[in-house]
Amino acid sequence: MERKAIVLNSKDNVATALTDLSAGDTIELAVDDKPVSVKLLNPVQFGHKFSLIDIKAGSPILKYGEVIGEASMDITPGEHVHVHNVASTRGRGDVTAGARK
Amino acid sequence: MSFWGYPRPDGLVGTRNHVAIVPTVVCATATARQVSDNVRGSVPFLHQQGCALTPSDLEMANRTLTNLALNPNIASVVLISLGCDPIDIDGIAEKIAASGKPVEKFVIQEVGGTIATTEKATRVARQMVSDASRINREQFDDSKLMFGAECGGSDTTSGLGANPAIGAAFDILVKQGGRAVFSETTEFIGAEHLLARRAVTPEVGQQIIDFVRRYEERFLEKGVDMRGTNPTKGNIQGGLTTIEEKSLGAISKGGTEPIEEIYEYGERPTRAGLSIADGPGFDAPSLTAMAAAGATVMFFSTGRGTPLGTPFVPVIKVTANGPSYEKMKDNIDFYVDLTRKEHIAEIGAELYAEALQVASGRQTKSEILGQDRDNGLFLVGPLA
C-alpha cells in the first residue's frame, strides 16, 4: 500500500502528507510501529502537515522530534497545521520591536 | 575509491580546468563577459558588487575574490578592475601568484577603455586556455575532493529526502578523509543546538551558536519578521511553516559527522573534515562562499526546482519532489524517491558515485545549460 503520510519522530505531534489528501480521509500511520489513525478535518496538500493529537494554543509543534514553532490557537486532531495556526518563535524582529515600544 | 582530477601547484586537486575571468567590480563585469565570450574554455564570475563598501564588507570582498580564484577548479586567472574601485587587485594577484597559479591583471582606466582592455585580456586568456589544456587529468584518491551543499527553492521534500541523501554522501567523503562544507547560517536558526552538539570541541560548538545569534540579531535589530522572507513564499506554499522547520530539514544536508570548524564568509577551512562557512540562505552568495572555501563538487537540493549553478564548480541538482522533477528534468540531475526513505544511506551512496563521475568530468545540467556564469558576493551593508 502506498504511504500517504509520514511521522518523522515518535515525539512528533504532526504528520507530513506524501500526497494530496482530502477532508474526511482516514489516514493510517505507524508511530514507533504502533498504528495511529487520524481523520482529516481539512484538505492537506502534498508536503503540508496535519495534527495527530489535540495541541493547545501556546504549546510546541514537534517535527523531527524538535520544536518548529508554537500553536497560535487550539488545534484538534486531523487539522491542517500551517502558518494560520502556528507561529515561529525565531527571527521575530516584529515582536521584539513591539516589546520595545 | 578514486576520481580523475587536475593537479595544482599548491597540492590541491581540481575537478575542472577553467580559466577564470574575474571582474573586481560591476564596472568591469561587462568587459569580463566579453572576454569570456571571446575565449572558449574560460568562465567569468559575473557579479554586481565591488564598490561603496564598508571596511568590513571590503575586507570580506577581498578575501572572497582571492579564495575564489584559489579554488583548484581554476587553472589560471584574469583579473579586471576599473581602477578607482576599492578592491585590492594587486594584493589579490600577489596571493594567487604565490600559490603558483598563473594570473594577469588589467585596469580599464590604465589600459584605456573597455575595447582595449577586452583585446588585451582576450589575448592573455587565449594563451592561458592553451596552456591549461596541456594539463592532463590524473587519478586521485577521493579524499582529495571537497564537497559543498546548498539548498534552494526548498519545500518539505528537501528536508525529508534530498538533504538527507546529500548528508549521506557527505558522510561517505568525510569518513574517507575528504573535506566538505555547508553554509546558510540563516537556515540554522532553530537547529543550532543540534549542530553545536556535533562540534569537535565545546569552543567550536559555542562559535556555531554565536554565528547564528549574530545572524538572527540582524533581523531583530531591523524590527522585521523574518517570515515571508525566510521561509520564502514558495517555501510556505510547499508546506514549510517556520524557519525552525526549514532549518531542521536544511541541516541534514551536512550529514552526521563531527563539525571541525566554522569560519567567516569567504574564508577557507584550515583542516580536513566537515566545516561550516558563514553565509546567507540566499543561494547565489552562499554558493560563492563554498566555492571560496574550496569546494570542487557541489550538491544543490531543491523542492520547487531551481536552475542556478555557480561559476567554476559543477553543481549537482537533487530533488525529492516527484512533480518538480518531472517538470524540471532539464535542470535537475538526481531524483530521490521518498518511498525509498528507509534506504537513505543507499541513495546517498548512489549520489556519491554520481559525484565521483562529475568530479572526473561528467557535465552537470547547470554547466551544460550555461547556468554557471552569474553569481553574487555577500555584503552586510549598508552600501555607501
pLDDT for B297-333, tens place per residue?
999 999 999 999 999 999 999 999 999 999 999 999 9
CA A16, B337, B286, B98 torsion-angle sign? positive
Nearest to B290 by CA among B137, B166, B383: B166
On the question of pLDDT at B163 being above 70, the answer is yes
For the segment A66-72, the average pLDDT, to the nearest whole number, is 95
Round to whole Å and give the CA distance between B93 and B302.
36
Q: What is the pLDDT of residue B73?
A: 98
Residue B329, Cβ neighbours under 10 Å: how many? 13
Report the SS3 class of residue A99.
Answer: helix
Q: What's the burial of B257, exposed, middle or buried (CB within 10 Å: 0-12/13-18/19+)?
A: middle
Residue A74: which pLDDT band, with cuts at 50, 70 and 90?
A: very high
Q: In this complex, is the C-beta atom of A83 within 8 Å of any C-beta atom belonging to chain B? A: yes
pLDDT at B361 over 60: yes
Q: How confident is the model over A82-100, as a mean pLDDT?
A: 77
Strand order of the sheet with strand B2-7?
B13-14, B2-7, B138-141
Residue A100 binned pLDDT confidence (cut-offs 50, 70, 90): very low
Cα B124–Cα B297–Cα B273 angle in degrees, nearest 5:
120
Contacts of A63 in chain B (CB under 8 A): 245, 248
- What's the gap between Cα A48 and its chain centre? 8
Instruction: Give the rounded distance of the alpha carbon of B264 from its chain centre.
Output: 14
Q: Which amino acid is at B268?
A: R
Predicted pLDDT of residue B229? 76
Using CA atoms, how far apart are residues B305 and B326, in angstroms rounded to an integer?
Answer: 10
For B235, nearest residue in chain A (alpha carbons): A47
Are the CB atoms for B69 and B96 separated by under 8 Å? Answer: yes
- Comparing CA positions, the residue from B142, B152, B92, B144 lying closest to residue B281 is B152
- What is the per-residue pLDDT for B223? 82
How many whole angstroms separate alpha carbon B350 and alpha carbon B241?
31
**Which pLDDT band, with edges at 50, 70 and 90, does A1 fall under?**
very low
**Domain ranges, residue A45:** 5-100
User: Measured between CB atoms, which of A69, A96, A97 is closest to B242?
Assistant: A69
Residue (of B140, B121, B186, B187) closest to B159 by Cα position: B187
Contact B241 A89 (CB under 8 A): no
Closest residue to B241, CB basis, from A6, A18, A83: A83
**Domains in chain B: boundaries:** 18-132, 140-368
Is 80 exceeded by the pLDDT of residue B225?
no
pLDDT confidence of residue B343: 87
Residue B47 has pLDDT above 90, yes or no: yes
C-alpha cell at B86: 576599492
R_g of chain A computed on alpha carbons: 15
Q: At A95, which helix (H) or strand (E)?
A: helix A93-100
pLDDT at residue number B341: 72
Mean pLDDT of chain A: 90
A83 vs B contacts (CB less than 8 Å): 227, 236, 241
| For chain B, percent of residues with pLDDT exceeding 90 | 90
Nearest beta carbon to residue B238 from set A47, A66, A88: A47
Interface test with A, best of B242, B325, B336 (most A CBs within 10 A): B242
Give the closest-approach CA distance of B345 to chain A in angstroms.
16
Alpha helices in chain B (DSSP H): 29-38, 55-69, 89-98, 108-111, 114-132, 156-157, 163-175, 192-197, 202-222, 233-237, 243-250, 283-293, 322-327, 344-359, 365-368
- Please state, in angstroms and rounded to a whole number, the distance separating the CA atoms of residues B92 and B79: 9
Chain B positions touching A89 (Cβ under 8 A) are 244
Pairwise CB contact (< 8 Å): B245 & A95: no
Output the pLDDT for position B55. Answer: 96
Asked if pLDDT for residue B285 goes beyond 60, the answer is: yes
Average pLDDT over residues B329-352: 92
**Disruptive mutation site among A46, A61, A80, A95 for chain B (greatest number of B CBs within 10 Å):** A46
Quote the pLDDT of residue A96. 64
CA of A68, closest CA in chain B: separation in Å? 5
ipTM, two decimals, is: 0.92
pLDDT of B369 > 60? The answer is: yes
| Amino acid B222: pLDDT | 83
Check whether A101 has a pLDDT greater than 60. Answer: no
CATH number at residue A83: 2.30.130.110
Residue A89 touches partner B, C-beta closer than 8 Å: yes
- Chain B residues whose C-beta is within 8 A of a chain A C-beta are 155-157, 159-160, 189-191, 194, 216, 219-227, 230, 236, 238-239, 241-245, 248-249, 303, 321, 323, 338-339, 341
Q: DSSP code of B85?
A: S
By Cβ distance, the residue of A2, A48, A86 closest to B242 is A86
Q: What is the DSSP letter of B158?
A: I
Under an 8 A CB cutoff, do B230 and A46 touch? Answer: no
Contacts of A64 in chain B (CB under 8 A): 159, 248-249
pLDDT score recorded for residue B178: 98
**For all residues of chain B together, what is the average pLDDT?**
95
Question: Into how many domains does chain A fold?
Answer: 1
- Collapsed DSSP state (helix, strand, coil) of residue B296: coil
In the structure grid, which three cell numbers stand for residue B59, read together? 575586507
Least CB–CB distance from B156: residue in A16, A61, A87: A16
How close is the nearest chain A Cα to the Cα of B382, in Å? Answer: 18
Fold of B18-132: Rossmann fold (3.40.50)
